[in-house]
């Protein structure tokens, strides 16, 4: 990038908030995919006005701008694939307001999700979306990817909680969307348009979220099953029996084996799958739902239920669940990791399909994830030293995606498209939908400077 441009970026954010040092650039070149693309410069603005000035500069000199939260994305969204400037949102990390009476909060995008949850908890409120990465991912990244998590089965995902945004557009204008109120239907719902747009339509600089009262009570259960079809079949049965857990997580045998040491009691050798279930609400509601759960389990002979007895045990269970994704990376740094979704009743079909695929292609494929909303993480494990295995992995991925569409599912529940899934978009979206989406991109970013190469790489 031209030295004169770097000088102007420095003038906007200050010398100490801008870097072109190679060792720094490396730190902003990768994300959860472990792919790496170097930017030319990283800027650390601390206001919407600074971001607006950066965008005006980019519009004149036509360099790419990539917003970055914590870089924990799983599809390459924050990677500067065409170089240019990374806008790191880490200094925009203030909780501006928690309005307890109206149950809303206004925050900046660099706020860490888990820290935000803790802050609202102090005043008896609850922000449910809980990606497994919540200890390090940011609210801006969650908004841009529409992050989900275990609690989505009961409470919904990020888009169900964000009611308004401030966004810096590609030309440097500042747009505010939505309201501070629970309801609001004045004009188009631009808030929802930006949520899940992966930094391709604008840079989010403020977020208004609604909050709900903290549930009074919660109980945690573990179901070990010696039958995989029974465990996966139980998921839809639970919900159709009017049991609405706030967590309904599933792990297959291989996923379990990766984190067995972290579990309070290592699973027996014949366990094929585990479900982690939590029920929250008033004490009486939790008691009533727990009774229903035990009653239903009576009809599932291969499933054994146990209630977690202590906080330490619950922490260990969660530690194990949240460690699956990092553990799969350790085992297979070049794994293919997908977050497909199917209707809950089709989960047994999906899991059966992945097992068949693994056998046919002689691959290790493990499944785990947010079964309650049909969002299963399918991990195709690959040996970096075996080129042939990588080719088989790609075949497996394509067959998986085709099957997901057959099962009335969707290619991504929460990780987005980024660069890793863009070539598969036409499998799910028809020509008209693709055309309208591309027109929207052109409307918001006519010069193609905002996060280029994402979602629709080839044509734009």
Ligand X SMILES: Cc1cc2nc3c(=O)[nH]c(=O)nc-3n(C[C@H](O)[C@H](O)[C@H](O)COP(=O)(O)OP(=O)(O)OC[C@H]3O[C@@H](n4cnc5c(N)ncnc54)[C@H](O)[C@@H]3O)c2cc1C
Burial (0-12, 13-18, 19+ Cβ within 10 Å), 115: middle
Rounded CA Rg of the chain = 22
Residue 367 has φ and ψ, to the nearest 5°, of -130, 140
Helix (H, G, I), strand (E, B) or coil at 271: coil
Instruction: Assign residue 71 a region (left: φ > 0; alpha: ψ between -120 and 50; beta: otherwise).
Output: left
CB of 289 to ligand X, least distance (A): 24
Which residue do the tokens 């727990």 mark?
A: 290
Burial 191-209 (b: 16+ CB within 10 A, else e): bbbbbbbbbbbbbbbbbbb
Task: State the minimum distance, in angstroms, from the CB of residue 149 to ligand X.
Answer: 5
Contact between 103 and 224 (Cβ < 8 Å): no
- The distance of closest approach from Cβ of residue 421 to ligand X in the complex, given in angstroms and rounded to an integer, is 13
144 or 357, CB closer to ligand X? 144
**Complex with ligand X: residue 149 or 233, whichever CB lies closer:** 149
In this complex, which beta carbon is closest to ligand X, that of residue 138 or of residue 224?
A: 138
Phi, psi (deg, nearest 5) at residue 32: -65, -15
Find, among 454, 321, 449, 371, the residue nearest to 64 by Cα.
449
Q: Which one, 113 or 272, has the nearer CB to ligand X?
A: 113
> Of 111 and 211, which CB lies nearer to ligand X in the complex structure?
111
In angstroms, give the least distance from the CB of 86 to ligand X.
Answer: 9
- As a whole number of angstroms, the distance between CA 82 and CA 65 comes to 9
d(CA 194, CA 143): 8
Binding site for ligand X (CB under 6 A): 31-32, 66-74, 77-78, 89, 109, 131-133, 137-138, 140-142, 144-145, 147-149, 198-199, 203-204, 325-326, 414-415, 451
**Distance of closest approach, residue 438 Cβ to ligand X, in angstroms:** 17
Judged by CB, which is closer to ligand X: 71, or 374? 71
Nearer of residues 73 and 267 to ligand X, judged by Cβ: 73
Work out how close the CB of 415 gets to ligand X at its nearest, in angstroms, rounded to a whole number. Answer: 6
Residue placing its CB nearer to ligand X in the complex, 145 or 445 = 145
Q: How far is the CB of 413 from ligand X (least distance, A)?
A: 8
Dihedral over Cα of 208, 213, 219, 221: its sign: negative
Q: In angstroms, what is the minimal distance from the CB of 109 to ligand X?
A: 4
Structure tokens belonging to residue 146: 């529409």
The residues, any chain, with a CB within 8 Å of residue 27's CB and separated by 6 or more, are none
């Amino acid at each position: 990038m031209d030295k004169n441009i770097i000088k102007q970026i420095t003038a906007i954010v200050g010398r100490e908030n801008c870097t072109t040092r190679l060792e720094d650039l490396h730190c902003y070149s990768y994300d959860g995919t472990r792919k790496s693309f170097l930017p030319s410069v990283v800027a650390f603005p601390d206001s919407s006005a600074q971001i607006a000035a950066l965008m005006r500069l980019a519009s004149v000199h036509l360099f790419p701008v990539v917003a970055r939260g914590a870089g924990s994305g799983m599809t390459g969204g924050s990677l500067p694939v065409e170089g240019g400037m990374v806008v790191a949102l880490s200094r925009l990390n203030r909780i501006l307001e928690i309005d307890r009476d109206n149950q809303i909060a206004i925050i900046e995008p660099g706020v860490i999700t888990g820290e935000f949850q803790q802050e609202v908890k102090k005043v008896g409120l609850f922000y449910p979306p809980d990606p497994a990465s919540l200890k390090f991912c940011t609210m801006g990244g969650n908004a841009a990817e529409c992050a989900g998590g275990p609690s989505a089965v009961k409470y919904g995902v990020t888009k169900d909680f964000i009611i308004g945004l401030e966004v810096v557009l590609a030309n440097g204008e500042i747009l505010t969307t939505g309201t501070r109120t629970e309801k609001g239907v004045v004009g188009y719902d631009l808030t929802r348009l930006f949520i899940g747009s992966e930094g391709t339509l604008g840079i989010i600089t403020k977020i208004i979220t609604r909050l709900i009262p903290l549930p009074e009570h919660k109980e945690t259960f573990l179901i070990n099953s010696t039958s995989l079809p029974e465990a996966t079949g139980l998921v839809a049965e639970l919900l159709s029996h009017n049991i609405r857990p706030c967590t309904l997580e599933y792990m297959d045998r291989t996923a379990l084996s990766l984190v067995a040491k972290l579990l309070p009691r290592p699973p027996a050798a014949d366990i094929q799958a585990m479900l982690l279930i939590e029920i929250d609400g008033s004490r009486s509601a939790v008691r009533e739902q727990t009774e229903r759960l035990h009653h239903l389990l009576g009809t599932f002979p291969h499933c054994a239920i146990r209630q977690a007895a202590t906080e330490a045990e619950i922490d260990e269970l969660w530690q194990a669940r949240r460690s699956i994704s990092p553990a799969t990376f350790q085992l297979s740094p070049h794994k293919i990791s997908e977050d497909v979704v199917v209707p809950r009743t089709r989960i047994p079909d999906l899991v059966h399909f992945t097992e068949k695929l693994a056998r046919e292609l002689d691959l290790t494929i493990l499944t785990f994830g947010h079964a309650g909303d049909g969002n299963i993480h399918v991990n195709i494990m690959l040996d970096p030293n075996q080129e042939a295995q990588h080719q088989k992995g790609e075949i497996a991925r394509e067959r998986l995606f085709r099957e997901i569409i057959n099962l009335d599912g969707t290619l991504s529940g929460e990780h987005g498209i980024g660069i890793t899934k863009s070539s598969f978009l036409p499998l799910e979206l028809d020509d008209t939908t693709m055309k309208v989406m591309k027109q929207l991109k052109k409307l918001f970013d006519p010069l193609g400077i905002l996060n280029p190469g994402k979602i629709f790489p080839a044509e734009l």
